[in-house]
Amino acid sequence: MSSSSILAEKTDQAVAELRDAELDGWLTFARETHNLGEPCLPLVLGEGFVWPGMVLLTATGRKIAITETHDADNVRAHGVHEVYPYESSLQSAFHEVLDEVEPKRLGLNYSKANPTADGLSLGLYEQLREYIDASDHRIELVSAAPIVESVRGRKSETETERIQGAVDTAHGILREVQTEWRPEWTEAETAAFVHERVADLGLVTSWDAETCPAVTAGVEGEYGHAKPGDVTIPPGEVMRIDFGVIREEYASDMQRVYYHQPAGETEIPDGLRSDFDDARDAIRAGFDALEPGVQGYEVDAAAREYLTERGWPEYQHGLGHQVGRYVHDGGTYLGPQWDRYGDAPYGEVREGEVYTLELGIQTDYGSISLEEMVQVTADGARFMTEQQTDPWVLDAN
Amino acid sequence: MSSSSILAEKTDQAVAELRDAELDGWLTFARETHNLGEPCLPLVLGEGFVWPGMVLLTATGRKIAITETHDADNVRAHGVHEVYPYESSLQSAFHEVLDEVEPKRLGLNYSKANPTADGLSLGLYEQLREYIDASDHRIELVSAAPIVESVRGRKSETETERIQGAVDTAHGILREVQTEWRPEWTEAETAAFVHERVADLGLVTSWDAETCPAVTAGVEGEYGHAKPGDVTIPPGEVMRIDFGVIREEYASDMQRVYYHQPAGETEIPDGLRSDFDDARDAIRAGFDALEPGVQGYEVDAAAREYLTERGWPEYQHGLGHQVGRYVHDGGTYLGPQWDRYGDAPYGEVREGEVYTLELGIQTDYGSISLEEMVQVTADGARFMTEQQTDPWVLDAN
């Protein structure tokens, strides 16, 4: 199973990170994850827990799962963990593992800034403290966020392939909009067409289908993540679609801008071309700044300055977020140094991470809002989407 | 929208509970709930948060939501909350609310025993402590679990209607299995038939479709939550199905036992009838013990003793769990006083709560495992399912 190959890749990555981070182990503690979620579990266990369970990855390379007996078979099936099943006492099994591993310093999944590294609930944390207090061990508990961010952010080979699949699929559907579109389509009808294509493929949208795709038709269209409405695109104006799909558990997220060319017009008007180029080249400026070692805000600043120097107002969000299992994955954020983003814009960009680059300007033609997906390489970045270089002229048949 | 009517019902219920609990308010703090989940949010907000946000319900009846501006419109649409939107600083908006409400004692969503009351992450808890330390207020923070359990457990009128719908739908599908079944069907084919009916209705199963339904065919069938296999039911043996659907966000969960009557046989064999009656009447014994004020383990004990007195081994789980938005809802558990169940069996049963009553025995005919759904009334309980009184004889056409 390729899920197990991701699991092997990610747990190996974690073990390597633990050595660098001077942690003896990374402990994930969760239960009822079908409902409650523990964003790290797919990476460290490849499964959910119904009953309380733990995954301990150690710097010495051990991959230990402590599971209630009913959860044990699913975990064993991956062939990655040493499984310590328990029937009535998780504490006893945990103490047995502590006696073997003797960790002095463990990372836990908590983080103010990064939701994907913050899966440990306060109740389970208190429970864990009790278990440790009742053991013969004294253990320093620290945030595992740096490990989570690296393991989650730096995509393995299999993960990169899956994201590429999600990108290509979304791109294909966005191209179909261009060829299938009818001038009488409202935003909502355009969205319905997209939903139909997603359903045909047996997939789901990257975020809530009510606003995925988000569709903004013409100057009158409502910008942002509003639900698609009953506006059509007047000739001479643009439509922008923000959309992505989840494919094999990995997401994509992109925006494309379409142009409703009036009958008889053969060239894209100079004004539109110039506005479009400003948005496109601002993204390009961000792309050029993206490389391992820079901080998130530096990448945002490159794009932001490019736009403001050309007289456009600042976009009211960051240039880019990470994409992975979630369409908004945590960790380093390519955003400005604003309060609301906390520490995320100060994070360091790392090879293998996947980001969006997105920004929009409100023009006389409507919203020109573009979004590309890129992956950081050893010395820069590469587009996972084919960057949109011109407005896609709608084919009215 | 009926979602808003549930929201009004549940938030009113919470306000009443706060007065009894001597809390000034109940604070839910969450973000990225699409991925991370916060089991209380559907009850107190009726929505998810993308950005960090808070819901504060106060003993004086105020229903306050602090939301990032992009989340604010969705919250306002319910017409239930006073919305305090923030752009860059959640802390400032929170301080403004604290200055108005002046709470001395707040309940937070954390609990060792109850996952549905444990939605607060450790990272957000630390963030909250920082916000409070930076304010002019000194606030005692305690677990809101008693409130969560009551608000979540005691179903409102609209919730009861929805659960009844999920029960009736699952029951109807289980009856269809009886009439549509073919002797050559394997466990997996029976499950496929059920899945087809669920899909026809545009619904989803109450838990992971791989094991919902769980199907155990005959003596050779694998019992428990194993995936349905390629076994058929030999004539003279039984099949047991464990199944439920989610309908309008509320779950059902029940088990039914079917009998593959050999050609020419016209009566259910005495041995099977007697075994079946033991299981059925053990459930009945639990049902008779169920009323407001008893502790969970007392109800379990009534059923357990009934079975063991008749020479059957003890079932290796509790008699019943709550059902609501989750098929395994938290709070009081009708289970034995075993370590692994923590405090849950000591909880008090309350009017309006919905439970399963389930147990199984392994017989010469195969697994006889039954599960009913019941709701606690003012002075006892009522079946939401029609209790299964006999094995359902399969119609081989």
Instruction: Look up the CATH number of the domain holding residue A195.
Output: 3.90.230.10
What's the total number of domains in chain B? 2
List, for residues B285-303, the tens digit of each pLDDT value.
999 999 999 999 999 999 9
Whether residues B131 and B162 share a domain: the answer is no
Residue with tokens 């995936």: B227
Residue A223, pLDDT above cutoff 80: no
Q: Are residues A127 and A189 in the same domain?
A: no
Provide CB contacts within 8 A for A178, sequence distance 6+: A258, A392, A393, A394, A395
Residues of B in contact with A31 (CB under 8 A): 115
In this structure, the dihedral spanned by the alpha carbons of residues A360, A361, A363 and A367, taken in order and rounded to 10 degrees, is 20
For residue B131, give the amino acid letter. Answer: Y
Q: What is the mean pLDDT of chain A?
A: 94
The answer to whether residues A231 and A217 touch, using CB atoms and an 8 Å cutoff, is: yes
Are residues A69 and A15 part of one domain? Answer: yes
Residue B115 DSSP code:
G
* Residue of B3, B29, B31, B35 to mutate, testing the A interface (most A Cβ within 10 Å of its Cβ): B35
Arithmetic mean of pLDDT, A49-57:
93
Residue of B nearest to A336 (CA): B88
Confidence class of residue A197 from pLDDT cuts 50, 70 and 90?
very high
B123–chain A nearest CA distance, Å = 4
Within an 8 Å CB–CB cutoff, is residue A116 touching chain B?
Answer: yes
Tell me how far apart the alpha carbons of residues B285 and A340 are, in angstroms, rounded to a whole number.
Answer: 57
B214 touches chain A (CB under 8 A): no
Q: How confident is the model at residue A217 (pLDDT cuts 50, 70, 90)?
A: very high
Which of A51, A113, A122 has its CB closest to that of B122? A122
Phi, psi (rounded to 5 degrees) for A315: -70, 145
Regions of chain B with pLDDT less than 50: 1-2
Give me the percent of chain A exceeding a pLDDT of 90: 84
The reply to whether residue A117 touches residue B123, judged by beta carbons under 8 angstroms, is: yes
- Identify the domain boundary among B121, B152, B183: B152
* Residues A176 and A90 grouped into a single domain: no
Measured CA angle at A331 (ends A157, B41), to 5 deg: 110
Whether chain A has a CB inside 8 Å of the CB on B225: the answer is yes
The partner residue sitting opposite A338, judged by closest CB among B70, B88, B340, is: B88
- Residues A195-220 have a mean pLDDT of 94
| Token pair in block for residue B193 | 């038939």
Touching A: B residues 50-69, CB under 8 Å? 50-51, 68
Q: What is the pLDDT of residue B124?
A: 97
Written as six digits, the tokens of A389 are: 């270089």
Q: Note whether A48 and A62 are same-domain residues.
A: yes
Instruction: Tell if the CB–CB gap between A36 and B118 is shorter than 8 Å.
Output: yes
Q: Measured between CA atoms, how close is B149 to chain A, in angstroms?
A: 15
Q: What gap in Å lies between CA A249 and CA A325, rounded to an integer?
A: 6
* pLDDT at site A169: 98
Same domain? For B124 and B188 the reply is: no
Point out the domain boundary residue: A128, A152, A176.
A152
Predicted local confidence at residue B236, as pLDDT: 96
Q: Is A194 on the interface with B (CB under 8 A)?
A: no
Q: Are residues A199 and A214 in the same domain?
A: yes
Domain check: are A193 and A337 in the same one? yes
The verdict on A32 touching B (C-beta cutoff 8 Å) is yes
Q: What is the pLDDT of residue B1?
A: 39
Residue ranges with strand state E in B53-205: 53-58, 63-68, 82-86, 105-108, 140-143, 204-205
Task: Inform me whether the C-beta atom of residue B208 falls under 8 Å from chain A C-beta atoms.
Answer: yes
For residue A127, how many C-alpha atoms fall within 13 Å in the half-sphere facing its CB?
26
pLDDT value of residue B332: 94
User: Which of B28, B34, B120, B121 would best serve as a mutation to test chain A binding (most A beta carbons within 10 A)?
Assistant: B121
Q: Is residue A370 domain-shared with residue A229, that is, in the same domain?
A: yes
pLDDT of residue A288: 98
If asked whether residues B163 and B144 sit together in one domain, one would say no
Can you give the pLDDT at residue B113?
A: 84
Query: If DSSP codes are grouped into helix, strand and coil, which group holds residue A339?
Result: helix
CATH of the domain at A133: 3.40.350.10
Cα separation of the two ends of chain A? 44
B12 and B75 share one domain:
yes
Which residue range(s) make up the domain with B164? 157-393
Residue B218: per-residue pLDDT:
93
* pLDDT value at residue A161: 97
State whether ipTM is beyond 0.85: no
Does the beta carbon of A120 lie under 8 angstroms from any beta carbon of chain B?
Answer: yes
Rounded-to-integer distance, Cα B55 and Cα B75, Å:
10
Residues B21 and B118 in one domain: yes
A30 near B CB under 8 A: no
DSSP state of A363: E
Name the domain boundary from B152, B180, B200.
Answer: B152
